Structure 1
């Protein structure tokens, strides 16, 4: 159990929660324990936990959903990146994502391990689970794309992708609330094509499928 002794306690609690998220205790899209559980773990009161959660929500790390709970929406947000991305147009961000994810897809097709494939398959299946809210679907989509980037085994690409997640997530949620996916089967097939190419170790096909998917996503925001 982590004990906090110096003020301001809310700042310390926020950093401890962020460290636990970075360490993988809670994955992208997962729900945090309630205040009554977190407060004794951190050695602070529930009001301090609430303030810590508000801080991390403001940084794009957590999302507090009324009547549902608090969810992890990003694994890390370097402050400089956060300021840049908040100012950036979503199309600009998708163009940068393309530079990262297309390369990552090709590398993943070359470097993926059996563990990577299990994670990618599981993420693809979760993405199409029935009964998801818009937020849950977007979180599942981000998890799938992140597992592909991780499978490239390039720490810089992973860190860059993580920096984009909060900005892209907010835009995707807003867009899907206004304009749901017109053809869910085609959308799934686009993601499945990337996964299949990675599975079969076809780097060129993986990069082509990734580029096509992100181009379609960009067109949706144009």
Structure 2
């Protein structure tokens, strides 16, 4: 690497280190060179390197381990996740969505409480009522039901993952449902499958809950992609 030019050096240093991480020179899980080596390679002082590393740590790209050094924990800033989802193809988003939600449905069937079941019933009724509404309201009601299923799994990591997916899914689905007129023949598209999902969670059947949801998501994905 060529030496950096003046101001703001810490930002430039962070950007250069990030570039090297992205290109795989310093892979995820690997250890970065020490401060002295980085300072020499970048042509800056150690204080600049430390500030750059703090910036990358705040972005969850590196982590300092006392007595061991600084290790790479991600190949891009944490804030890039939503942007990556928005750039992703719908098929890829649905593949990951299926992995997340099907497992959530299985867990929901074994962990749901009475409060969860009441929330699912209310969300299912709202989705049915939204059949008479416009596409935006219908998609919102559909996502609300899926959110209730994920919540019934009582796993905060799954909650966070789905919270990242939900806004992107909403944007894509509102656009595609209207574009391909998915609800032309059935304004309440997919109601029976969603009702079966709620029943499976209520019955405490993780196998049925996972199977029903996987089939429903695949059917929706196929209709949208075929359109």
- TM-score by length of structure 1 reads 0.62
CA–CA distance in 1 between the matches of 2:129 and 2:136? 13
Q: Show the counterpart of 1:176.
A: 177
Unaligned 5+ residue runs, structure 1? 1-77
The verdict on how the C-alpha distance between 1:133 and 1:117 changes in structure 2, with shifts beyond 3 A counting, is same
Q: Show the counterpart of 1:115.
A: 115
Alignment of 1:28-39 (within 5 A): none
1:200 aligns with 2:203: yes
Shift of residue 83, structure 1, vs aligned partner = 1.2
Unaligned 5+ residue runs, structure 2? 1-77
Alignment of 1:81-100 (within 5 A): 81-100=81-100
CA–CA distance in 2 between the matches of 1:161 and 1:208? 19
Shift of residue 184, structure 1, vs aligned partner = 4.5
CA RMSD of aligned residues (A): 1.5
Shift of residue 128, structure 1, vs aligned partner = 1.2
- TM-score by length of structure 2 reads 0.61
1:9-53: CA deviation from partner (whole Å, max 9, x where unpaired): xxxxxxxxxxxxxxxxxxxxxxxxxxxxxxxxxxxxxxxxxxxxx
On the 8 A contact 2:128/2:188 being kept in 1, the answer is no
The verdict on how the C-alpha distance between 1:191 and 1:114 changes in structure 2, with shifts beyond 3 A counting, is same
Instruction: Give structure 1 regions of 4+ aligned residues with deviation exceeding 6 angstroms.
Output: none
Q: How many pairs align? A: 145
On the 8 A contact 1:90/1:167 being kept in 2, the answer is no
Per the alignment, in what secondary structure is the counterpart of residue 157 of structure 1?
A: helix
Higher relative contact order structure (alpha carbons within 8 Å, sequence separation ≥ 6): 1
Q: Show the counterpart of 1:188.
A: 191
